[in-house]
Structure 1
Amino acid sequence: MSTRTAVVTGASSGIGEATARELAKQGYHVYIGARRVDRLERLAAEIGGTALPLDVTDDASVEAFAAAIEHANVLVNNAGGAKGLAPVAQADLDDWRWMWETNVLGTLRVTKALLPKLIASGDGLIVTITSVAAFEAYENGSGYTSAKHAQAVLHRTLRTELLGQPVRLTEIAPGAVETEFSLVRFGGDAERAAKVYEGIDNLVADDIAEIVGFVASRPPHVNLDQIIVKPRDQAAAGRFHRR
């Protein structure tokens, strides 16, 4: 195919939205998926992409999404998130189920559905947005950190399983990025979410999108396996310099 295509999940806001813009600037036709279709349609009109409804926790939704994509060169597994900040002793099992369904099984569903098209492209790329939480554990975050560890292991295993196939795999693990992430984690509590980023010179969605764009622009023989990126004010998952 003459037009290279990219697929971005969780594209209705934050890193996914910024990544869709970045890849469109590089000349990709971008398929964007998320549940908030109204936002997707506005973004698609802006970048000349294709908006498709997608719920990564639903098998039928993922199947319909993948069927609507004729061919794919790049897949950015960005859909995910956190819910709650409770210690293990008070863990909310529904929050855990949501995090595992979205981060782990969601990534699995979409990757599995699009993998044949990525291989068939002759030069495929899978970028999975994990987190520093895929490398560390922190108090009250076991639901999210365990899900991100599992998502990362899924991605890293695929790197070995696809050895010899024309597909590259890159894991990007961001630290603190000021998006809607904490707003979702705290059930829409804007005041509590704002405190997470208070006094820090945080990363923003465009910072991560630019890294995705750099990865996508490398020649086919270059595989950037893992990229960990944090703001200068962050040393570890829960350790920050605040002003």
Structure 2
Amino acid sequence: MSSGPRENGSVALKNTVSKNAVVTGASSGIGAATARQLAKEGYHVFLAARRADRIEALAAEIGGTAIATDVTSDDSVAALAEAVGDRLDLLVNNAGGAFGVDKVADADLAKWQAMFEVNVVGLTRVTKALLPALIASGAGAIINVGSIAGRRAYEGGAGYNAAKFGTRAVTEALRLEIVDQPVRIMEIAPGMVQTEEFSLVRLGGDKAAADAVYQGVADPLVAEDIADAIVWMATRPAHVNIDELVIKPRAQAAPHKVHREG
């Protein structure tokens, strides 16, 4: 009997009976790359982000569903949960971000508050809203996109450090709280990932400063590297929980220790 693809039968079933996934922050970078790779794995992906035009284009590309979503809004997240329905297999909490590189003594507290709102409160808001559907699936999974910044502080990073330490704390507490439920709780913690927006947003739109972050680094990670790891975590058997996966480019030993050539 052939083990290759065929039009009918069990091998084709993967493409006809899809699982559902929600990816927040799906309009660019890691979120968009993850949505694309999940779609290739047979998931129907609900794309959640504020920029409706971007997620609508991506939804058309991958056969997903675009839901304009602001994770800092109760009403917006409630609308996302209603659109998803009663059953969900996978939630990728990717919406987040860093705003500024202030030292503690010079902290712009509005930026610090914004980081906490999206990386901690927003992540919790989405998780709370979708958790019943994840439990109802019988084998749900949550993957929170954290950061190595949530494991070691560095100068100029305290605000983002605090937010990503918060992401890690929510992940670990939730795993303890619902250990009796059929939902895996996981975190991926990337190091230096070169995307089109992360450093640009963090540095207030200063492209030269954003480009300098990666200057001399031969091979920083890219969004597709993280997406590949997320999909691997999601597609482990239901009894396998990848508690945390720390992933950095070879050139990065720590947040503050990066080998640069030239």
Query: Which TM bucket (shorter chain)?
Result: over 0.9
SS of structure 1 residue aligned to 2:186: strand
* Corresponding residue for residue 14 of structure 2: none
Structure 1 residue runs of 5 or longer lacking an equivalent are: none
Select 2:147's aligned residue among 131, 136, 148.
131
- Please give the per-residue CA displacement for 1:147-203, whole angstroms capped at 9, x wherever unaligned: 100111001110111112100011100000001110110111111101001111100
Amino acid at match of 1:85: V
* 1:156-171 correspondence runs (5 A): 156-171=172-187
Per the normalisation by structure 1, the TM-score is 0.98
Match of 2:110 among 94, 103, 108: 94
Q: Secondary structure at the match of 1:209?
A: helix
The reply on whether 1:190 has 2:194 as its aligned counterpart is no
What code does the residue aligned with 2:205 have?
G
For residues 6 and 168 of structure 1, the distance between their equivalents in structure 2, rounded to whole angstroms, comes to 14
4+ residue runs of structure 1 moved beyond 3 angstroms? none
1:1-243 to 2 correspondences below 5 Å = 2-70=17-85, 71-179=87-195, 180-200=197-217, 201-243=219-261
Instruction: Give SS of 1:98's match.
Output: helix
* Distance in 2, Cα, partners of 1:120 & 1:230: 34
- Uncovered stretches (5+) of structure 2, i.e. residues with no partner: 1-16
What amino acid is the match of 1:198?
A: Q
3-state SS of 2:194 partner: coil
One-letter amino acid matched to 2:214: Y
Q: Identity percentage over the alignment?
A: 58
AA partner of residue 171 (structure 1): E
Larger Rg belongs to:
2
Tell me the distance in 2 between the aligned counterparts of 1:152 and 1:216: 18
The alpha carbon displacement at 1:143 in A equals 0.4
Question: How far 1:216 moved relative to its partner?
Answer: 1.3
- Paired residue type of 1:164: D
Q: How many residues align?
A: 243
- The secondary structure found in structure 1 opposite 2:100 is coil
Counterpart Cα distance in 2 of 1:72 and 1:185: 32
1:45-90 deviation per Cα after TM superposition (whole angstroms, max 9, x unaligned): 0100000001111111111111111221000000000000011111
Using the TM superposition, give the Cα deviation of residue 238 of structure 1 relative to its aligned residue in structure 2, in angstroms: 1.2
